[in-house]
Amino acid sequence: MEIDDDEPLPPSATNETVASNGTPAKFTKKKHRDKDIGIYTVVNQVGEGTFGKVYKALNTTTGVHIALKLIRMEQEKDGFPVTAMREVKLLQSLNQENVIRLYEMLVHCGSVYMVFEYMDHDLTGILSQNQFTFTEAHLKSLCHQMFSGLAYLHHKGIIHRDIKGSNILLNNRGELKLADFGLARFYQKRRRADYTNRVITLWYRPPELLYGATIYGPEVDMWSAGCIMLELYTKKAVFTGNDELHQLDTIYRVIGTPDSHRWPDIGNLPWYELVKPREPHPNRFREMFTKWMSPPALDLAERLLCYDPTKRVTAAEALQAPYFTTEEPQAERPVMLNSNLEGEWHEMESKRERAKKRKKE
């Protein structure tokens, strides 16, 4: 795939020559060179994030694939975007097998790129394909890896604030890694500070943020992780609201309406009067998911989707749940992804497939 024309794609370094009088010689654009970014050759685009496009590229000296994230600068009046700066700073302080590795930053002809380890799929993409089905042991491993990554982040004092399928990456060795730290931030472990509640993609946003909370902690990621756990088993997002009120209504219809018994602090939340439930709904969680999940899996998912953030299970506690420690089968990485799956599945490919299907219909 070619890189879009509107992009500030630089000429390759080898094309930019300097005349003997010191002024740059006229650049003659060679098509194939458009794909070269330093030692990397772009293979294709695999993603479109809020802050820039992501490309699969080949390191021509090592023969290893990497991911290049082009940092969007067009709208920036004040130089390097603060969100990207935050992401880089955070990523540079992280080193754990379930968190994406940032290898280096690359400045090439006026454009700035982040160079990451390459991941063959993301969860949204892989759950949308029909060639390969995860076994119970695979699903357990994916959950375990997700909680390990989150336990590491939370221990380091970082809240991710955008856990969702397209930000959870997977490679053909069955390794899962958390990515996209554009909304992540360090939080004060001892003193709860005031943050924005306009974070986390709507479907994965916890009820306290939908009720206007601005004082929150890593529990917000655990709600999102609960949504992901259910999605892994059912292959569908569970709470798919169109707006904030509808999102809450969708949640009420699955786990019932909250009250001061289930969530003592609910009445103190900023938007409580505005968004509180108008009619009661029963908790139908067990009834709805029993056909997909074992009792220990349901127990853990229920502890993740707990209304009261102070009672919600932490990532470290989740790793100690009977679902992981005693229930059979034991977790097993989906290493066979390699031989049983054609192609690479990112949200972008799954969107493309859906569009193709719609066109056919």
- Interaction between residue 116 and ligand AMP (CB under 6 A): yes
From the list 84, 112, 143, 169, which residue makes contact with ligand AMP (rule: CB under 6 A)?
169
- Interaction between residue 224 and ligand AMP (CB under 6 A): no
- Interaction between residue 180 and ligand AMP (CB under 6 A): yes
Please answer whether residues 269 and 275 qualify as being in contact, where contact means their C-beta atoms are separated by less than 8 angstroms. Answer: no
Amino acid at 159: I
Q: Which stretch binds ligand AMP (CB under 6 A): 145-153, 161-169, 193-201, 293-301?
A: 161-169
1 or 193: whose CB is closer to ligand AMP? Answer: 1
DSSP count for the chain of H helices, then E strands: 13, 11
d(CA 250, CA 245): 9
From the list 67, 159, 222, 298, which residue makes contact with ligand AMP (rule: CB under 6 A)?
67
- Interaction between residue 47 and ligand AMP (CB under 6 A): yes
Structure tokens at 21: 């009088």
Residue ranges of alpha helices (H) inside the chain are 82-92, 123-127, 136-155, 207-210, 219-234, 244-255, 272-275, 285-289, 295-304, 315-319, 322-325, 337-340, 347-360
From the list 36, 122, 221, 249, which residue makes contact with ligand AMP (rule: CB under 6 A)?
122
- Interaction between residue 179 and ligand AMP (CB under 6 A): yes
Structure tokens at 309: 């953030």
Q: Which stretch binds ligand AMP (CB under 6 A): 20-28, 46-54, 199-207, 214-222?
A: 46-54
119 or 209: whose CB is closer to ligand AMP? Answer: 119
Q: Shortest distance, CB of residue 56 to ligand AMP, whole angstroms?
A: 7
172 or 283: whose CB is closer to ligand AMP? Answer: 172
333: region left, alpha or beta (phi > 0 left; psi from -120 to 50 alpha): beta
Q: Shortest distance, CB of residue 203 to ligand AMP, whole angstroms?
A: 15
- Interaction between residue 164 and ligand AMP (CB under 6 A): no
Q: Shortest distance, CB of residue 87 to ligand AMP, whole angstroms?
A: 8
- Interaction between residue 119 and ligand AMP (CB under 6 A): yes
The residue from 162, 180, 221, 249 that is catalytic is: 162
- Interaction between residue 346 and ligand AMP (CB under 6 A): yes
* Burial (Cβ within 10 Å: 0-12, 13-18, ≥19) of residue 157: middle
225: region left, alpha or beta (phi > 0 left; psi from -120 to 50 alpha): alpha
Nearest to 175 by CA among 345, 10, 332, 358: 332
- Interaction between residue 349 and ligand AMP (CB under 6 A): no
Q: Is 69 annotated as belonging to a binding site? A: yes
- Interaction between residue 337 and ligand AMP (CB under 6 A): no
From the list 11, 49, 277, 296, which residue makes contact with ligand AMP (rule: CB under 6 A)?
49
Structure tokens at 173: 């060795």
Structure tokens at 72: 């969007």
122 or 208: whose CB is closer to ligand AMP? Answer: 122
Residue with tokens 């019932």: 256
CA atoms 226, 274, 183, 187: torsion sign: negative
- Interaction between residue 166 and ligand AMP (CB under 6 A): yes
Backbone angles phi, psi at 308, to 5 degrees: -75, 110
Q: Which stretch binds ligand AMP (CB under 6 A): 18-26, 116-124, 221-229, 239-247?
A: 116-124
Amino acid at 134: F
Size of the site for ligand AMP (CB under 6 A): 18
162 catalytically annotated: yes
d(CA 95, CA 75): 31
User: Known binding site: residues?
Assistant: 69
Residues known to be catalytic: 162
Query: Contact positions toward ligand AMP, by CB under 6 A?
Result: 46-47, 49, 54, 67, 100, 116-119, 122, 166-167, 169, 179-180, 346-347
User: Known binding site for ATP: residues?
Assistant: 69
